[in-house]
Amino acid sequence: MKKKLSIVDIANALNVSKTTISFILNGRAQEKRISAELVETVMKYVEEVGYKPNSLAKSLRTGKSNTIGLMVEDISNPFFASIARLIEERAYKNGYKIIYCSTDNDTQKTKELIDMFRDRHVDGYIISPPEGIEEDIESLTKDGMPVVLFDRHLPNVDTDFIEIDNLFSTYNATRHLIDQGFKNVAFVTFASNQTQMIDRVKGYQNAIEAAGLPVLIKEILFNQKEELIMNPLREFMIQNTNIDAILFGTNHIGTCGLKIMQEMGKNTPTDIAIISFDDYEVFELYSPPVTAIAQPIDEIADNVISVLLEKLDYHSASTKLKGVILKTNLKIRKSSIKASA
Amino acid sequence: MKKKLSIVDIANALNVSKTTISFILNGRAQEKRISAELVETVMKYVEEVGYKPNSLAKSLRTGKSNTIGLMVEDISNPFFASIARLIEERAYKNGYKIIYCSTDNDTQKTKELIDMFRDRHVDGYIISPPEGIEEDIESLTKDGMPVVLFDRHLPNVDTDFIEIDNLFSTYNATRHLIDQGFKNVAFVTFASNQTQMIDRVKGYQNAIEAAGLPVLIKEILFNQKEELIMNPLREFMIQNTNIDAILFGTNHIGTCGLKIMQEMGKNTPTDIAIISFDDYEVFELYSPPVTAIAQPIDEIADNVISVLLEKLDYHSASTKLKGVILKTNLKIRKSSIKASA
DNA sequence: CTGAAAGCGCTAACAT
DNA sequence: ATGTTAGCGCTTTCAG
């Protein structure tokens, strides 16, 4: 059990050629008309000595690594962590392993990461792409690599992608706020040209304009550091004292918003009503519970991995590209309900 | 740029032997006394055509895959996700990539996962081990594989490990509750024989017994499903109406506990004081903010990866095993402060 | 039905 | 100082 045995070891032990062993191990015994009893012998022996083919050698030979590269914005963000969890599970079940990394929405870092993945000969890519990565993704697909984007897509790049209906989601949430009677509804989000962000802004804007209300948008530079989110947010709040409702564009901004509210002693929903994008334990437990736009995590993960596996299977087949758009669920909780005055 | 070029392609193009190229690329030019100008030429050409050595072939040849296997209990748990994030970063910086998976604390699943990692020739293992995995870990170390355990260790297996001072953490937290004047302090945790859990129970028990108070422990079967945590918890609460403070053994149980409190209309800390293990955004934002035992995430990740990298470097050197025990930080918030009656 | 042999791309003795 | 060559362990023609 100590020594790593190779296919030739077992071939020798059984006095058979390694070719035969290889065929048997790869289920091509039938096809090659290898005697059932030989198959049996080999299988038993392999089992017995615990022989495992060297997957590195196999990969080198076949060009397949049975690895999927997963690039999320930030694995420590619960949204991405949950999706990664589900994807991981499905992937392993299908004989693929996942190597992952966080892009931080940093284009340069992402480029390097893609390079590394290429280096490693991953068989397929799952990416929540940052801006400016179009060329690299294109070069990937051009070289025939299966790529599935999620959470957002790249407008001018043809790939499969899975996302949610961002525009309707924020439109709907904003409408809800308006219906409740709020007049100065702000939208706070990250400054970004990513498709999902643009749509979220649009959804808000459409609803507000349709209602003839003032558009109040605060864009914050993307950053993981909490302070750099909270500072501009605090400023915004101070400068716009008339705001009576806020829609937060991401879970991270949402929680920061909650902190600001606490810090400033604002009550929800009496002083300011709140809705956040992404559902999240903290929103459910907060008092009052925070209304949230819940993304269908399971469905997203399911679709992502299904689409990718499909491409991996019929590698050649010109399965046409798919853009899947999933529905979100507005979970209405107390934070967005107008106090019956 | 389309065709994958190999080392021999570039050797031919430059009319040099591939050995020379190999040496240059691996920084052994000096050592091999290769002329500076040749080195220059080669480097420039390599850069120009964007040649990247095939890491698979390299791995096959050298037996090193530059991959670290990371096995956490559940990547979607914020504690593990945060650690994974930090480990990932440090690993990539050092030229290692991470392949990861969640064990679910399932021994059988973990065994298979370890097998898979072995198959993939990962160079080192970072594991938060479930119970019953002793033999497999041992066989790993016996075969000379670098292994670092974290969050817990295996009592009868000699490995490096990084953990926190669980016993003192719960002891301290319990003392705090007692000092506040609470008389019926319960401890709710997962039923487990893992070292960290055992110590957490002991810490609680020691403090309680030292104070001559009644020991009130509720153990819940490990499960991800929220309902299967909440049901027994609810039952426990109903059967022990005299409890005036609870210490929760993990973040997951903690948030479930919060939900139960809300559901039962219990006020914190007037009806029941609360402390949870693991700090977590939700605890900070909750009203009242929840006292929590904060683990030093950064330090844990730092230590884990440092220890592993060290072992990876001096592979042979008999660096003696390290058990690192880190301190936690009891973040005292309102939920555990006795209302001045 | 089975075996010999080539070769995936790279490294490292061993020449020269 | 640079080139030759033998594998790492596997798959896969091509011949028996």
Q: Tell me which residue of A296, A281, A213, A297 sits closest to A247, measured CA to CA.
A: A213
pLDDT mean over B279-293: 94
Q: Which residue reads 């003839």 in tokens?
A: A212
Question: CA B83 to CA B148: how far, in whole Å?
Answer: 14
The H or E element spanning position A22 is helix A18-25
Q: What is the pLDDT of residue A3?
A: 56
Lowest mean pLDDT segment, chosen from A147-161, A207-221, B36-50, B304-318: B304-318
Tens digits of residue pLDDT in A54-95? 888 888 888 888 999 999 999 999 999 999 999 999 999 998
First to last CA, chain A: 77
Mean pLDDT of chain B: 92
Question: CA A68 to CA A63: how far, in whole Å?
Answer: 14
pLDDT above 70 as % of chain A: 97
Tens digits of residue pLDDT in A21-47? 888 888 888 888 888 888 888 888 888
Tens digits of residue pLDDT in A293-307? 999 999 999 999 999
pLDDT mean over A106-121: 90
Q: Does A213 touch chain B (CB under 8 A)?
A: no
Nearest to B65 among A56, A92, A143 (CB): A56
In this prediction, residue A143 has a pLDDT band, given cuts at 50, 70 and 90, of confident
Q: What is the pLDDT of residue B9?
A: 85
pLDDT at position A2 over 70: no
The H or E element spanning position A150 is strand A147-150
Q: What is the pLDDT of residue B2?
A: 45
Q: What is the pLDDT of residue A318?
A: 59
Q: What is the pLDDT of residue B1?
A: 38
The pTM score is 0.92
Across the interface, do B52 and A121 touch by the CB < 8 Å criterion? no
Mutation site, B55, B67, B224, B284, interface A, largest A CB count within 10 A: B55
Extended strands (E) in chain B: 67-72, 97-102, 124-127, 147-150, 160-164, 185-190, 216-220, 245-248, 273-277, 291-294, 323-326, 329-331
Question: CA A285 to CA B262: how far, in whole Å?
Answer: 8
Across the interface, do A286 and B281 touch by the CB < 8 Å criterion? no
Q: Does B56 touch chain A (CB under 8 A)?
A: yes
Q: Cβ contacts (< 8 Å) between B56 and chain A: which residues?
A: 56, 59-60, 65, 120-121
Could you tell me which residues come within 8 angstroms of residue A3 by beta carbon, excluding any fewer than 6 positions away? none
pLDDT at position A317 over 60: no
Question: CA A91 to CA B73: how far, in whole Å?
Answer: 17
Q: Tell me which residue of A33, A31, A98, A302 sits closest to B113, measured CA to CA.
A: A98
Handedness of CA B301, B303, B304, B307 (dihedral sign): positive
By C1' distance from the Cα of B37, the closest nucleotide is D1
First to last CA, chain B: 76
* Structural domains of chain B, ranges and CATH numbers in brackets: 7-53 (1.10.260), 66-164+298-327 (3.40.50.2300), 166-295+330-336 (3.40.50.2300)
Type of residue at A202: K
Q: Cβ contacts (< 8 Å) between B248 and chain A: which residues?
A: none
Taking a contact as any Cβ pair under 8 Å apart, which residues of chain B between 226 and 285 contact chain A? 255, 258-259, 262, 281-282, 284-285
Count of C-beta atoms within a 10 Å radius of residue A340? 5
Tens digits of residue pLDDT in B103-114? 999 999 999 999
Sheet containing A67-72, strands listed edge to edge, beginning at the edge strand earlier in sequence: A323-326, A160-164, A147-150, A124-127, A67-72, A97-102, B97-102, B67-72, B124-127, B147-150, B160-164, B323-326
Across the interface, do B285 and A84 touch by the CB < 8 Å criterion? no
Q: Tell me which residue of A151, A63, A70, A158 sits closest to A113, measured CA to CA.
A: A70
Tens digits of residue pLDDT in A160-190? 999 999 999 999 999 999 999 999 999 999 9
Q: Does A321 touch chain B (CB under 8 A)?
A: no
pLDDT above 90 as % of chain A: 69
Mean pLDDT of chain A: 92
Q: What is the pLDDT of residue A61?
A: 87
Residue of chain A whose alpha carbon sits nearest to that of B73: A85
Taking a contact as any Cβ pair under 8 Å apart, which residues of chain A between 156 and 185 contact chain B? none
pLDDT mean over A203-221: 97
Q: Does A55 touch chain B (CB under 8 A)?
A: yes
**Strand-strand pairing, B67-72 and B97-102:** parallel
Q: What is the pLDDT of residue A51?
A: 84
pLDDT mean over B318-334: 90
CA distance B129 to chain A (A): 18
Residue of chain B whose alpha carbon sits nearest to that of A117: B97
Residue nearest to nucleotide D2 (CA to C1'): B20
pLDDT at position B6 over 90: no
In this prediction, residue B38 has a pLDDT band, given cuts at 50, 70 and 90, of confident
pLDDT at position A153 over 80: yes
Residue A68 bridge partners (DSSP): A98, A124
Q: Which residues of B162-191 are buried (b: 16+ CB within 10 A; e: fewer)?
A: bbbebbbbbbbbbbbbbebebebbbbbbbe
Q: Cβ contacts (< 8 Å) between B115 and chain A: which residues?
A: 52
Work out the angle between the directed axes of helices B55-62 and A55-62 (0-180°, nearest 10).
140
Lowest mean pLDDT segment, chosen from A150-154, B52-56, B96-100: B52-56
pLDDT mean over B246-256: 96
Tokens of A24: 């048997």
Cis peptide upstream of residue A269 (ω within 30 degrees of 0): yes
Q: Is B100 left (phi over 0), alpha (psi -120 to 50) or beta?
A: beta
